[in-house]
Structure formats: structure tokens, C-alpha cells
Chain A
Amino acid sequence: METVVENMEAQNAAVGKKENDLIVLTEGLCKSFGDNHVLKGINLQIARGENVVVLGKSGSGKSVLIKCLVRLLSIDAGKVIVLGHDIPALGEEELNDVRKKIGFLFQSAALYDSMTVRENLEFPLREMKNQSKDEKEKQVIEDLKSVGLEEAIGLMPSELSGGMRKRIGLARTMILKPEIILYDEPTTGLDPITSKEISRLIISVQQELKTTSLIITHDIECAKITANRILVLKDGVFVAEGTFKELEKSEDKWVRSFFE
């Protein structure tokens, strides 16, 4: 209950913010693959400290949307501004600097399977030259503690369960202390209990690092736990927006069907 109250406060605080305090701003974002028009004008605004959830059916373009935010996919039209940077216009070096401030948790966790858990976590740190080996080591262990998996440090990704992979993926995402974390279906393929744990973990990570989160999911429980605000993606545009409670009572049958 407490988190819900806090969430509401965060949201109310977000409403009055000026444009330059927006962590993510997209306007008219369009993306097609040949004749497959996946995104047809996405307008998204995320304020600092917010937890935004994007709901949508499988194949609706949720993953495409967040990949556009970090330029893993180039956009066809529109504006994408993340942390004040015009993402499509950035040079390679600048883009890398901005990317270090963005965390990205892949749907598949995308652990480097030729490296141990430790090496996986150290990998994003390798270009931080002002850090000593000990500091890095300390950070890795701290990070693993916050996802509750210190004992997995020497394991290979192939030795981990799906839920553990997600956690290690999250730990790796956190290690650069990003200002915003983009989660691509953090709970898919997990049992309800583990899903809930991951959702709680997302909240605790957010409070620990004071990050902003964009969570892509079709898991309604996860949305319930994590969201300040929910957007519903259908046919390439957002068709509904509101808090969990608002959308639960939506007039639109299609939107309501998510919550049943």
C-alpha cells in the first residue's frame, strides 16, 4: 500500500515538470520494416523518477519501441530525446556516452555466455579507467547482493535458471548506475512467484538508485506492482493511458481485457 501512495506522489510531482526535466520524450515516432508498419506515431513522455509501464499484445512493437530509444534500431520519422540528447542525431562517441546512462534489460537477459557471471558484470565497467580493480570487484559483489545472488559469481550463464538469468541481467544493467532503466518483459517465462519477486526487485532497484524506469510487459501483475502510469500500445499507437486503477475500469473493452 505504501508504494502505491508514493507512486501517486511521484506521478503528481511529474505532471508539473518542464520539458527539460523529461528523461524520455518521443514525438511522432514511426518505425516500419518493409510494409510492416510497427510504430505509427508514438508520443511518450517520461519524467524523472517515474515508473512507466507499456502494455501491449505480443508482436505489437513493444520491443521495437525501446530499441528505438537506444538506437539499436533507427527510426523512420519523429523525434527521440533521451536525457536531453537527440538520439538519432548523435555521433558514435556521444551515443556511447549517453548509452552508459541508460540501462537496458533484454527480454532474453542476453548474458554473455562465454563469460562467467563475474565477467558479465565486469564487462560494462571495462571502459571506466578511473576505477581500480578492487573497486570494480567491490561493485560487482555489491551489485550481486542487491539482486540476492552473490553465490552465483563463479557460474556460467548456462548453469543458471531463467529467473537467475533475469536477475543477473538486471545486476549487469544496474552496474553503471543508469539514470533510466528500460526493461523488456522482465517477468515473461517465469512462474508467478518469481515474477512477483522480480517486480519487487525492480521497485527496490529504483528506490536504491533513484532511477526512472520504462517497463515493457504483458504481465498484468508486474504492471500492478511497478507502474505509476500505464500506456497501452495497440496497432502502433498508444490507445489508453492512466493509472492501474483507472485503466482497470476503462470503457474500452479491449483495454479492459488486459486486466481480466
Chain B
Amino acid sequence: MDSSSTKITFLPASIRDFFLEVDGISRFTGQFFKTVFKRPFEFSEVAKQSFIVGYKSLGLVTVTGFIMGLVLTIQSRPTLARFGAESWLPGMVAISIIREIGPVITALICAGKVGSGIGAELASMKVTEQIDAMEVAGTNPFRYLVVTRVLATLLMIPLLVIFADTVGLIGSYIGVNIMGDVGLRLYFSQAIEHLDFVDVFPAFIKTFFFGFAIGIIACYKGYTCNKGTEGVGLAANSAVVIGSLCVFIIDLIAVQLASFFM
């Protein structure tokens, strides 16, 4: 890190830092893939971290998911009513939630809640030499701390998205019923009728990428923190900022790929 930052002097500092960061994250990801298949697997630690990720975000995801469905429905109704297409309301809202809003909102919430937690936790372990202590004990802190956390976000964020989608649809059902009277079964049959494999599958796949990106970036910022106590706040902060940014970038790429292949 020292050497590479001194070598490249012709670029402005901010651009140089950007490339160094990308380089750092790529190496870190490489190390993840090198370590993840090595024995012994930390099953119990992955389970514990998954529980923490899921448990930490569940409340927030429920509330935002519900509001998201409700608001989307209430706001779309007048537009559709103008065209006399109110019966499309459930289908339209379902597509928006499942394809786009559910995954992105959930991922952003997790980038904030989970990303900052992981970033701060690992960074404080780093600055208080706990990670060094694991290293000199001959254990592999990367496997114990990083791999387990990344696997946890990788597995849990898709589950949280499915959950948020469901809660969002329930919110939407209630939104529909504020002004009309649609039975639960009718509502869901209308909602699902318009859903295609093309809507569901790419949306589901991209949530794994969201989960991975949020986990790996938070771990990277925490694990490589080297600026003392001040660095802990910085690590948590940039874990959230870069994590959220990555969610949007992945979303953009996913849309392009999906429309290319489907």
C-alpha cells in the first residue's frame, strides 16, 4: 500500500485514491475466494453472524417494506384511475416492488445497518490489535471474521428481500382496500398474474450480489482500518457510503444484463 501510493504521483490524489481503493477491494475479494473453500469451515460462526444480520435488520425492513407497498399503491391509484385501469394496480405495484424497489430499498437499509455495524466492529478490533492477536496465535482471522460475515450477508440479504417483498405486497393490499374492496385472494391473483419469470429471476439473482458487495466492502473497510480510533468512525462511514453506491451500480448492471439476455 505504501509503495503503490508513492509510485503513482502524476494523478491527482483523489483519482489515485479511487484506483487504490478499487485495487484494494479487488485483492480483498480475491483473498475471500481463496479462503472461502479452505477447511475448516466456520459453520457455527456463519450461523451466528447470519442471525445477527437478519435480526438486526428485520424490524426496519418490515416497516419500510410495508410503507413502501402502501405508499406506492396510494400514489399510483389516481394515475391509473385516469386511464380507467385501476384493476392493474396490484399487478403494477407487484412488479415495481419485486423487480426494483424491494431489493434496492432492502439492500440500502442493510448497507446502512449491517454495513456500518460490521465496519465499526472489525475496525475497532483492528485498532485494538485484536486481529493481530488472532494472527499471531496462528489462527486465520480472515476466515474467522471476514469469510463468515460475507457469507452471512450473502445468504441473509436475499432472504430479507423476499421478506420485504412480501410485506410490501401486504402493504399494497391494504392500500388497495383503503378506497376499494378487493379480497385478499383476488388481490394476490391479480398481483401474481402479471409477474413473469423475467421479473422475478434476475431480481432474485441480483440480491445475492447486493449481499456480497455489502459484506465484502464493510469487511474491507473494517479489516484494513489503520488510523486509530478515528479510523473506526471513518470505516463505518465509508462502509455505508461505498456499500450503498455499489448497490446502485450493481442494480444498473443487472438491469442492462437482464434486458440483454431476456
Residues of A within 8 A of B (CB): 33-34, 67, 70, 72, 96-100, 102, 104, 106-108, 110-114, 123-124, 126-127, 172, 176
Indicate whether B79 reaches chain A with its CB closer than 8 angstroms: no
Nearest first, the 5 A-B pairs at minimum CB distance are: A100-B138, A110-B133, A99-B138, A110-B129, A124-B137
Determine if B132 and A124 form an interchain contact, defined as CB atoms under 8 angstroms apart.
no
Give chain B interface residues in 115-137, CB to chain A under 8 Å. 121, 125, 128-130, 132-137
A72 to B126 CA separation, bound complex (whole angstroms): 12
Q: In the complex the two chains form, is A124's CB within 8 Å of B138's CB?
A: yes
- When C-beta atoms are compared, the residue in chain B nearest to A70 turns out to be B136
Is chain B's binding surface mostly helix, strand, loop or mixed? Answer: helix
Nearest-neighbor residue (CB-CB) of A72 within chain B: B132
- Known A-B contacts A106-B129, A110-B129, A110-B130; the reply to A34 vs B2 at CB < 8 A is yes
Q: Which of B121, B128, B137, B139 has the most CB of A within 10 A?
A: B137
User: How many residues of B are in contact with the other chain, CB < 8 A?
Assistant: 17
Residue of B nearest to A104 (CB): B136
Distance (whole angstroms) from the CB of B171 to the closest CB of chain A: 36
- Give CA–CA (A172, B136) in the complex, Å: 12
Contact A110 B138 (CB under 8 A): no
User: Contact residues of B with A, CB < 8 Å?
Assistant: 2, 6, 40, 121, 125, 128-130, 132-140
A-B contact pairs, 28 of them (CB 8 A): A34-B2, A34-B6, A67-B132, A72-B132, A96-B139, A96-B140, A99-B137, A99-B138, A100-B137, A100-B138, A102-B136, A104-B133, A104-B136, A108-B128, A110-B130, A110-B132, A110-B133, A112-B134, A113-B125, A113-B128, A113-B130, A123-B139, A124-B137, A124-B138, A124-B139, A126-B139, A127-B138, A127-B139
Rounded to whole angstroms, the CA-CA distance of A33 and B139 in the bound complex is 27
Complex: A100 Cα to B138 Cα, angstroms: 5
Bound-state CA distance A97–B137 (Å) is 9
**Centre residue among B6, B121, B129, B132 by max chain A CB count within 10 A:** B129
Q: How far is the CB of B227 from chain A (nearest CB, A)?
A: 14
